[in-house]
Structure 1
Amino acid sequence: MENKTTDRLSTAEKREFVTLLRDVSAYINPTRFTADEKDAFLKMVYHSMHEDSPAHDPKGLPIAIMTLRWALLFAEAIEPDHNILLAIGLYPLLTYGHTDIMQIRKRWGEDVAGLLTGLSSVEKFSSKNNAVHQDNFRGLMLSLADDIRVIIIMIVRNLVLMRAINHHPDDEWVRNVAFEANCLYAQLAHRLGLYKIKGELEDLSLKYTNREIFTQIAHKLNETKRSRDAYIKSFIDPVKARLEAAGLKFEIKGRTKSISSIWNKMKKQKVDLQGIYDLFAIRVIIDTPKEREKSDCWLAYSIVADMYTANPARMKDWISIPKSNGYESLHATVMGPGSKWVEVQFRTRRMDLVAEKGLAAHWRYKGVKSDNTDQWMTNIRDILETAESGPMQLMKDMKMDIYGKEVFAFTPKGDLFRLASGATVLDFAFQIHTNVGAHCTGAVVNGQHRKITYRINNGDTIEILTSSNQAPKSDWLNIVVSTKARNKIKQSLNEELQRRAELGKEILERRAKNRKVEIEESVLMKLIGKNGYKYANEFFADMADEKIDPGKFLNTYVEETSVKTDGPKISAGEYQLQRNEESDSKNDVLRIGEKTINGLSYKFAKCCSPIYGDDVFGFISADGTVKIHRCDCPNASNIRERYPYRIIKADWSGKEGDLLPASLRIIGNDDIGIVANITSIISKESGVMLRNISVDSHDGIFQGVLVVAVSDQRQLSSLLKKLKTVKGVKEIQRL
């Protein structure tokens, strides 16, 4: 079959394309694909790049070859799954617009279409240097969390990408890909039991981010390989003889630990390579029926322990209680020949298959529900949806949940729960259910009453005690260790703070209404800041708790508004324009009564910032200065009621004056770049100046107060229309 795609590849790429196609074709046998499906799949790969599509992606990687590598690695490392291989083959066609989900659903079915929808969703966030940003990282993880198969497909794809970018010219992009591989995909691979892939991802990440260290360790391992192989042989030979004498059928082999693992040990133990005693591990893989798995593993261990002294402190039994990702193995460390510590792992053939290719990758495809994995993905969603921290903390939290040591505890009914080492009764309560955790008062542990601070031990039986009067407290954050519990407590505290804040705001508004005081948002926010509060919610919550007297605060507010004449000097942040008294009368833009106000000093009131064209009136202050207010000023009614004898008519002369300040309040989604977009529009508007900007964000909502200098109302109206078009802006109004 002739293909124009290969004509646009280099000679070496053509050869690899043909080889990969042959290898992938070997996995597409009649037991998995019909003849028509196989032919259609191969055509998809051939035409994975259309004539009018590029042969290479924007980073110079060959698209067809990367697709074949992706399919082949998945088939070899995980499982040659029918629908997943179809999704991989179709993905480039979907990406470059040569098919769509509707056509795929019609030809290949709902499941394949669903996988491709998930992959397309992930692509929006992944491999574009965006995972280092919190919102993109959260979006990426939530996309992955929808279908565990998408996670596995993306892990494999990431390894293919990592293998392909060695010595790529774009160093910054390579570092970002390596960062994402190490902090995200390697952790997910570990959680799903894909240890081989996890190790290679971590090694490649170290190679691309610290090539000098990687090369040094690799060279030293290569230099000592002969002596290391000889030692492994001297250890294995007598063990092999004793195991055969016991009638066991097995395979025994030694392996050197990964470079990244060795580097982590060197850093942790603060030693050089010679100081790492467990550079390699011996693995005993036993062929035995499932009913004899545990007994034969323990038999093999007892034989080795008779030959070499075992270190009980480093004994790890994941056969009696497997890891939450399904990993089963018995690990022991013994003193081998030459007084060297050697790690020996005992497992059966079935256990080894799960350890190499992952539990979920085998069970899920066969239609068996993996409850542990589903529960973990639910926990991850809880973490991501409630977390307020940045991406590094999110990754740290995930790593803790994935890599952390586990303790096992039971409910009185015998249900087993896995928690991070150091977990407390309060962690256990939140693990059962959020409402149980929120109302937890303590527990009965092994028949004895314990406080919520009690740290759980392996095998504890725990009955949680609750009370409807109990509620989460801030000091609970110092008690729990699990990310889920911590975020649920924070969420509950924030909800309680919001409730109290709404009550406090209602109290202030009711008191202001009784006193006929109009509250202006910008002045209120400034006063809240002057009182030492970073967030308005905290201020209003304290008012609800009677820590702030609303009456006294209103007195301060009234003093700050227009009726105050002896206030502090105006700062740059409280920008206000004042008329130049030396200007000629013909330049006056305001009139009072039947004549201009030439010779009088006037100011534009900062509470409403009138501009040319507004309906205005004048207020004569005690020092004789005329303050110009908008007729719809929030304080207008109060001024007219209390000081009617000091109000004087004012209007515009019909001629535009100088630039005047106008305050705007903007509310919207706290999207990346929203402030830059707003200021960019203002800067491009002819005759408009941005004089001050004050912004705040909380719970994903952006709030800002802008002071712009404009010449008239027409110009301000035009600016408001343009600002409303900014993506993420929900509301904009003049104060």
Structure 2
Amino acid sequence: MASDSASVASEPAGADAAVRATELCSLLENYLEPRQVQTVHQAFLFGEKAHSGQRRLSGEPYITHPLAVARTLAEMGLDAESLCAAILHDVIEDTPTAKAEIADAFGVEVAQLVDGVSKLTQINFRSKAEAQAENFRKMVLAMSQDIRVILIKLADRLHNMRTIWVMPRSKRARIARETLEIYAPIAQRLGINSVRIELEDLGFAALYPMRYRVLKERVRRQRGTRRELLDTVADALQDSLAGADIDARIIGREKHLWSIYQKMRSKQAGFHDVFDIYGFRVVVDDVDTCYRVLGHCHGLYKPLPGRLKDYIAIPKINGYQSLHTTLVGPRRIQVEVQIRTAEMDRVAESGIAAHWIYKEDGAASSVAQTRAREWVHGLMEMQENAGNSLEFIENVKIDLLPDEIYVFTPKGEILEMPKGATVVDFAYAVHSDVGDACIAANIDHRLAPLRTPLETGQTVEIITAPVARPNPAWLDFVVTAKARTAIRHRLKRLQSREAEHLGRRLVEQALDALGMTVDDISDRQTRTVLEELGADQLDTVFAEVGLGKRMPWLVARRLSGISGESRETGLDGRPGPMQVRGNEGTVVTFARCCRPIPGDSIVGFASAGRGVVIHDQSCNNIREYRNHPEKWVDVQWDAMAEGEYPVAITIEVMNRRGVLASVAAVISDLDSNIDAVEIEEKEGMIAIMRLVLSVHGRVHLARIMRRLRGLSAVLRINRRRG
């Protein structure tokens, strides 16, 4: 049966499902055609028969759960297909009924909706986390085809949370945590505020029952003590608006418990430090009146500085629009006021469901629907780039973080991003190709590095270069899921191409020692080798060689037809050394222990997954490879080696003012850069500087060290290799 269904204390056990179905149909008659209402009733009869004999943990007939899900959607005003799918949403998963039977009875559209909500029950997963992730991935794929899938799933989760109390405590906690981490944030992203608030408070009560009860009692007590003051504010505001001939509806608003709890946790504050628990919502006819009401509010009471937010001019990512301000009322009580039109109020409560548009109408989508589809499109791109379903769902959780900032493109377009987003996050939000090629940015016309966190109101212009590529270090500071998955995806592709290129070079050198080339290998011999190695093509074998997973000379022996595994016997000669140019990418890495640079005597070792690791021949760490000659790779620096390489030096200096500046000036004058610096005092008047510099090779390093020795404050200088 559906795994998370339970019973509800407020619903009498054994209640007549037919009565509930009749009540549902009566509700639907307010906005659906009679034939559509009849179709929904037929879905009830179909579902009741399919679930015959099945009961919830409370003892109720199982059909009461899908009926409750359908009623939630009916209160949102959804179409007949959604309601039929809601009633049948557990039929495929929990009964022998096939998708084709639903399609025959109610159409392909309803069957696809039901299938989109159904979990993957035919696959055995290694863990609950993997099962959750794969089911979520399946739901996202279905959402990309029809956004109503998530609306049905949210209504399903809402009823399960309302009826969770018969579940074992451990299962309650798991479901509640999943609700708070995934489903409530999804409801917020889709703008369905009423569902989001109820999911959060139900999840709070199930996950932290004691904290929930204590906080609920504190709010109840404070409500009584502040009622008179709040009534005073409401009356004053109503009189002011009436005097200006403004027709407005003023509604009292109380911050819900989960929101209060989250604010207390994030600010590490006590209950009495959370001032905006109570407030008002002012609903008017049009946008102009919203701003007039704001002026009257600020005329009555002083606004709290920094708390005015204009979500009408810049809507939230889910389409939410409203003016927010916090007033300092009588006895310095702080009251938040939200000002919006009736249409904005409807969207704020129901989000994407507020403007449900039937597909056959062909009408333009609402802002909420458009943004919801953009979000789902982003999810699809994210899941395509994710390595696995667990990585995908973690990225989704990051993407659903509620805090946001608003930044501008040079053309004046607004991008909403999570708080803490950096230049790289912005670049990938503009386009993946822009992110891949970014090297810096102009923030408000000032040059800024890629790791710079952005702030609301800034204008950001990305600077790109054709030869630029994603850097693994970006993963340390990006915050958006889109940037993270795109960077990982591009790095994997880059590494694969670089590994293939390097592997081909190594195998060609090994074949050259045998007096052969790749072109000399017959197609038949190639097919035989590929079959032996379990590869589909030769490029795959080259990539594995480049990543250090296969030895190039063994692959060369197989391709040449020489038998045996020994490297020495049967070879006409050793492969010539591989030329290291410095532009091989991520598959040739330089050991941090000895930091080899062009001009050094070097040795290479094949390391599985890392490719070829280059060490200085004097490095102490190469001892462990002495007994593994099969991992050796003969290498030498190419005469045209390019790029900059880190090298560590130690300088002993007189400890006096300005010495670091003098050292830095010499290094800068000689076209080098200081990547890291560490200073340690020694015997009072002497200091030890440990620097990591960027150099082009031994000649460049020697020139720098020679100039540094000429400084009067420098006592001793040497290169560190360990």
TM-score by length of 2: 0.65
Over 3 Å counting, the alpha-carbon distance change for 1:448 and 1:70 in structure 2 is same
Deviates more, 1:256-265 or 1:16-25: 16-25
Provide Cα deviations, 1:649-688, integer angstroms capped at 9, x if missing partner. Answer: xxxxxxxxxxxxxxxxxxxxxxxxxxxxxxxxxxxxxxxx
May I ask how many residue pairs the two structures share in their alignment? 536
Over 3 Å counting, the alpha-carbon distance change for 1:272 and 1:418 in structure 2 is closer
Question: Do the aligned residues in 2 keep the contact of 1:329 with 1:345 (CA within 8 Å)?
Answer: yes
Matched, 1:183 2:195: no
Matched residue type, 1:372: R
Report the secondary structure of 1:312's partner residue: coil
Matched, 1:44 2:43: yes
Distance 2:422 2:141 in 1: 28
Report how far residue 346 of structure 1 moved.
Answer: 0.8
Question: Do the aligned residues in 2 keep the contact of 1:410 with 1:461 (CA within 8 Å)?
Answer: yes
Report how far residue 464 of structure 1 moved.
Answer: 4.1
Matched residue type, 1:182: L
Over 3 Å counting, the alpha-carbon distance change for 1:188 and 1:262 in structure 2 is same
Report the secondary structure of 1:63's partner residue: coil
Question: Do the aligned residues in 2 keep the contact of 1:122 with 1:144 (CA within 8 Å)?
Answer: no
Give the aligned partner of residue 654 of structure 1. none
Distance 1:160 1:84 in 2: 16
Give the aligned partner of residue 316 of structure 2. 323
In our comparison, the structure showing a higher alpha carbon Rg is 1
Distance 1:17 1:59 in 2: 14
Deviates more, 1:117-126 or 1:320-329: 117-126
Distance 2:122 2:206 in 1: 24
Give the aligned partner of residue 159 of structure 1. 158
Report how far residue 281 of structure 1 moved.
Answer: 2.0
Distance 1:476 1:497 in 2: 16
Report the secondary structure of 2:313's partner residue: coil
Give the aligned partner of residue 293 of structure 2. 300
Report the secondary structure of 1:85's partner residue: helix
Over 3 Å counting, the alpha-carbon distance change for 1:125 and 1:380 in structure 2 is farther
Give the aligned partner of residue 66 of structure 2. 67
Question: Do the aligned residues in 1 keep the contact of 2:499 with 2:543 (CA within 8 Å)?
Answer: yes
Provide Cα deviations, 1:121-152, integer angstroms capped at 9, x if missing partner. Answer: 57889999556755454444444444321111
Within 5 Å, give how 1:347-496 maps onto structure 2.
347-359=340-352, 361-365=354-358, 367-369=363-365, 370-388=369-387, 391=390, 394-395=393-394, 398-412=397-411, 414-443=412-441, 452=450, 456=454, 458=456, 462-478=460-476, 480-496=478-494
Distance 1:126 1:321 in 2: 46
Distance 1:90 1:185 in 2: 21
Report how far residue 487 of structure 1 moved.
Answer: 2.0
Report how far residue 195 of structure 1 moved.
Answer: 1.4
Deviates more, 1:172-181 or 1:117-126: 117-126
TM-score by length of 1: 0.64
Matched residue type, 2:20: L
Report how far residue 637 of structure 1 moved.
Answer: 10
Report how far residue 489 of structure 1 moved.
Answer: 1.6
Give the aligned partner of residue 193 of structure 2. 195
Give the aligned partner of residue 233 of structure 1. 231
Provide Cα deviations, 1:328-349, integer angstroms capped at 9, x if missing partner. Answer: 0111111111111111111111
Report the secondary structure of 1:314's partner residue: coil
Matched residue type, 1:635: E
Over 3 Å counting, the alpha-carbon distance change for 1:460 and 1:472 in structure 2 is same
Over 3 Å counting, the alpha-carbon distance change for 1:407 and 1:350 in structure 2 is same
Over 3 Å counting, the alpha-carbon distance change for 1:237 and 1:637 in structure 2 is closer
Matched, 1:22 2:22: yes
Question: Do the aligned residues in 2 keep the contact of 1:130 with 1:136 (CA within 8 Å)?
Answer: no
Over 3 Å counting, the alpha-carbon distance change for 1:30 and 1:101 in structure 2 is farther
Over 3 Å counting, the alpha-carbon distance change for 1:641 and 1:133 in structure 2 is same
Distance 2:156 2:548 in 1: 54
Question: Do the aligned residues in 2 keep the contact of 1:444 with 1:464 (CA within 8 Å)?
Answer: yes
Within 5 Å, give how 1:547-586 maps onto structure 2.
none
Over 3 Å counting, the alpha-carbon distance change for 1:447 and 1:84 in structure 2 is same
Distance 1:242 1:138 in 2: 52
Over 3 Å counting, the alpha-carbon distance change for 1:125 and 1:144 in structure 2 is farther
Give the aligned partner of residue 341 of structure 1. 334
Distance 1:261 1:117 in 2: 34
Distance 1:11 1:407 in 2: 45
Question: Do the aligned residues in 2 keep the contact of 1:184 with 1:395 (CA within 8 Å)?
Answer: no
Distance 1:697 1:19 in 2: 64
Give the aligned partner of residue 635 of structure 1. 565
Distance 2:188 2:382 in 1: 18
Question: Do the aligned residues in 2 keep the contact of 1:131 with 1:137 (CA within 8 Å)?
Answer: no
Report how far residue 384 of structure 1 moved.
Answer: 2.9
Report how far residue 361 of structure 1 moved.
Answer: 4.6
Report the secondary structure of 1:471's partner residue: coil
Distance 2:451 2:217 in 1: 49
Matched residue type, 1:318: Y
Report how far residue 185 of structure 1 moved.
Answer: 0.7
Give the aligned partner of residue 272 of structure 2. 274
Report how far residue 173 of structure 1 moved.
Answer: 2.3
Report how far residue 543 of structure 1 moved.
Answer: 7.3
Distance 1:208 1:267 in 2: 18
Give the aligned partner of residue 85 of structure 1. 83
Matched residue type, 1:74: L
Report the secondary structure of 2:53's partner residue: coil
Give the aligned partner of residue 240 of structure 2. 242
Report the secondary structure of 1:323's partner residue: coil
Report how far residue 404 of structure 1 moved.
Answer: 2.6
Report how far residue 432 of structure 1 moved.
Answer: 2.4
Question: Do the aligned residues in 2 keep the contact of 1:285 with 1:346 (CA within 8 Å)?
Answer: yes
Distance 2:552 2:248 in 1: 80
Report the secondary structure of 1:282's partner residue: strand
Identity of aligned residues (%): 26
Question: Do the aligned residues in 2 keep the contact of 1:333 with 1:344 (CA within 8 Å)?
Answer: yes
Deviates more, 1:495-504 or 1:189-198: 495-504
Report how far residue 316 of structure 1 moved.
Answer: 1.0
Provide Cα deviations, 1:510-531, integer angstroms capped at 9, x if missing partner. Answer: 45556679xx99xx9xxxxxxx
Distance 1:14 1:488 in 2: 52
Provide Cα deviations, 1:236-286, integer angstroms capped at 9, x if missing partner. Answer: 111111111111111112122111111112222323323322222211111
Report the secondary structure of 2:13's partner residue: helix
Report how far residue 442 of structure 1 moved.
Answer: 4.1
Report how far residue 478 of structure 1 moved.
Answer: 4.5
Deviates more, 1:89-98 or 1:306-315: 89-98
Report how far residue 212 of structure 1 moved.
Answer: 0.9
Higher relative contact order (CA 8 A, sep 6+): 2
Within 5 Å, give how 1:204-219 maps onto structure 2.
204-219=202-217
Over 3 Å counting, the alpha-carbon distance change for 1:697 and 1:404 in structure 2 is farther
Distance 2:213 2:450 in 1: 49
Over 3 Å counting, the alpha-carbon distance change for 1:136 and 1:434 in structure 2 is same
Distance 1:508 1:82 in 2: 64
Report how far residue 181 of structure 1 moved.
Answer: 1.1
Matched residue type, 1:435: D
Provide Cα deviations, 1:18-39, integer angstroms capped at 9, x if missing partner. Answer: 542232011232851334x434
Report the secondary structure of 2:279's partner residue: strand
Q: For structure 1, which runs of at least 5 residues remain unmatched after alignment? A: 1-9, 525-535, 559-631, 643-695, 699-735
Distance 1:126 1:149 in 2: 28
Question: Do the aligned residues in 1 keep the contact of 2:437 with 2:466 (CA within 8 Å)?
Answer: yes
Distance 1:141 1:125 in 2: 18
Report how far residue 465 of structure 1 moved.
Answer: 4.1
